[in-house]
Amino acid sequence: MKAKTNDASDVEIRTDIKFDNRFVRELPADPETENKRRQVLGAAYSRVTPKQVSSPTLIAYSKEVVDILGFSQSFCESDTFLNAFSGNRLLPGMDPYAACYGGHQFGNWAGQLGDGRAINLGEIVNRQSGRWILQLKGAGPTPYSRTADGLAVLRSSIREFLCSEAMFHLRVPTTRALSLILTGEKVERDMFYDGRPKLEPGAIVCRVAPTFTRFGNFEIFTARGATALLKQLADYTIRTDFPHLGDPSPEIYAKWFDEVCKLTADMILHWMRVGFVHGVMNTDNMSITGLTIDYGPYGWLEDYNPGWTPNTTDAATHRYCFGNQPAIAHWNLVKLANAIYPLIGKVEPLQDAIDSFGRYYETGFNTMMAQKLGLTAFTPETDESLVKGLLEILPLVETDMTIFFRNLALLNTECEYAEPTDMKPLTQPLMDAFYIPSQITDTYLERLHTWLHTYIRRLKQDNRPFEEKQNQMNPVNPKYVLRNYLAQLAIDKAEKGDYSMIHELQEVLRHPYEDQPGKEAFAEKRPDWARKKPGCSMLSCSS
Ligand code: AMP
Ligand code: MG
């Protein structure tokens, strides 16, 4: 199709991109169109135009997302692409808006939040009939920006771009990232909240997902007593994102909620499998389809410490630490249940779904641990204590979670071990996982070897070849994750104008489960200099 762009220069471009903007078409818009900060009542979204930027530069794009959207490589390298995904020029058919949502932040109702720095450009229906919303993060203020500027800095944009794609390749449900663009503008941020703001390079990520709807989109309507709007959004969500459930009715709302509970549990199970800590599990950051959304002060578990939180704002309470993630998901689902209660008018179906979350998660966790350990199936009689024993041992000394599980598959489990002490020379691959040699005392080794002895005896019950077991373990225990310090090194270089490490990480993280000769450095444990360095072990919300 030949199309005209929406900008004043009226340049003709070739594009086959078709937008079908169902969200704005079917849900009520804010009648006020002035882009000023305010409470938006009676609407699901406000129309808003991205801010112009001075000199955009494309730093990176994801070829997998390009394929999903049906874009051509040459389009991605064109000025049209650069201008569209920096917010400078709309493509024909785009109808940009910011969504209205609320949320519980750190356990308290926070009122209206909304897309304060996210602008949805439009929805593409691709050749496989998949619906994909394109959303710019950091493209300027919206009515929901409250006291902030609507912008994003390079460091947080690199983190979102790299991590969301890395998560996809790890098979973790997630929003995606199409592009990372430097705006050419400076953005002021007080990164350490110490009253010393700095000017930082601004950037925009174009995020892509079938839906960006959060628990908070429902909560805001219920908090305001806007039941008709709540119903409209729930019906829209069921028809668009859960069409297999059938036509909305009180029974279907309950089924829908049950499915949201399961999708959320699945997402958390994946986080626990790969050692991901979201860091800000507020209800406005919980996707209604169980996607990992809003990559802010997230972190990857280095030493296996269930109490670890990457978010400096969470340092006092550890509410969002690794080990709390399942409980917080449960808490957030209760908030969602309260929000959709007016649609059902009965507590029992919601309570049943909430109760089944715990059982579903537990079964899923056992299955996941069995896979991580290379067992054919979780057998409660033996494996409950096996898993419990391991989870008690891991935090005793600083143990790199990723390396430990990956290297567990290297142990020679086919030998006979009469006594746990026999195993000393054979546990060498696990030694790479330990951070502090002085912690590896004889007492510790004795405990580890006793556990390994039980583990190996348990593997023998499955009676299958070493390779078969290893082939099961490697695709669930990644070798490469976006270690906190790796992201920070890529940021440090990018802030000096060198984007090579972003590209290199992008490439390595495409195949997180494969051994990649020459790339072993990316699989090594955190170097000591990064132990306490901001950005590597502690992340501020400033972004
Ligand atoms: P977050 O903690 O990043 O999930 O953000 C919570 C709320 O603050 C959301 O409504 C965001 O849109 C908003 N927000 C975060 N950063 C900014 C910013 N720089 N400008 C405007 N709104 C923001
Ligand atoms: Mg958010």
Q: Give the domain range for residue 191.
A: 7-215
Query: Whose Cα sits closest to atom 3 in ligand 1?
Result: 296
Within-domain flag for 151: yes
48 lines ligand 1 (CB under 6 A): no
- The token duo for 207 is 């995020």
φ/ψ of residue 170, rounded to 5:
-85, 0
Catalytic residues: 284
421, 452, 473 - which closes a domain: 473
**Alpha carbon separation from 428 to 400, 423, 513 (Å, rounded):** 14, 9, 21
Query: For the chain, how are helix, strand and coil distributed in percent, rounded to 5?
Result: 45, 15, 40
Within-domain flag for 222: no
Q: Which atom of ligand 1 lies at the shortest distance from residue 113's CA? A: 10
**Alpha carbon separation from 17 to 71, 72, 181, 517 (Å, rounded):** 8, 10, 20, 39
Q: Which of 124, 193, 117 is nearest to 149 (CA)?
A: 117
How far is residue 155's CA from residue 491's CA, in Å, rounded to a whole number? 6
The CB-side HSE value for 57 (13 A sphere, CA atoms) comes to: 11
4 Cα: distance to centroid of ligand 1 (angstroms) = 33
Within-domain flag for 500: no
For 108-147, write each residue's pLDDT tens digit.
999 999 999 999 999 999 999 999 999 999 999 999 999 9
Within-domain flag for 275: no
The domain total for the chain is: 2
For 159-217, write each residue's pLDDT tens digit.
999 999 999 999 999 999 999 999 999 999 998 888 999 999 999 999 999 999 999 99
Would you say 365 and 269 are in contact if contact means Cβ atoms under 8 Å apart? yes
How far is residue 67's CA from residue 233's CA, in Å, rounded to a whole number? 30
In this structure, which residues have their CB less than 5 angstroms from ion ligand 2?
285, 294
Ligand nearest to the CA of 293: 2
Would you say 185 and 87 are in contact if contact means Cβ atoms under 8 Å apart? no
Within-domain flag for 245: no
216 lines ligand 1 (CB under 6 A): no
215, 239, 255 - which closes a domain: 215
- Report the DSSP pairing between strands 57-61 and 176-189: antiparallel
- Residues in Cβ contact with 351 at an 8 Å cutoff, skipping those fewer than 6 apart: 337
75 Cα: distance to centroid of ligand 1 (angstroms) = 31
- The token duo for 252 is 């279907």
pTM over the 0.75 mark: yes
- Bridge partners of 201, per DSSP, are 186
How far is residue 328's CA from residue 279's CA, in Å, rounded to a whole number? 11
pLDDT < 70 positions in the chain: 1-15
Cα 63 to chain centroid distance, Å, stands at: 19
473, 502, 520 - which closes a domain: 473
* Number of other CB atoms surrounding residue 521 within 10 Å: 8
Within-domain flag for 239: no
How far is residue 110's CA from residue 105's CA, in Å, rounded to a whole number? 6
* pLDDT score, position 15: 61
117 Cα: distance to centroid of ligand 1 (angstroms) = 6
How far is residue 267's CA from residue 357's CA, in Å, rounded to a whole number? 12
Within-domain flag for 137: yes
Cα 113 to chain centroid distance, Å, stands at: 20
* pLDDT score, position 193: 87
149 lines ligand 1 (CB under 6 A): yes
Within-domain flag for 45: yes
* Number of other CB atoms surrounding residue 140 within 10 Å: 21
Residue 539 is given by DSSP the state: B
- The token duo for 208 is 């892509």
- Residues in Cβ contact with 482 at an 8 Å cutoff, skipping those fewer than 6 apart: 162, 163, 166, 300, 505, 509
313 lines ligand 1 (CB under 6 A): no
119 lines ligand 1 (CB under 6 A): no
Crossing angle of the two packed helices 484-494 and 154-169, in degrees rounded to 10: 140
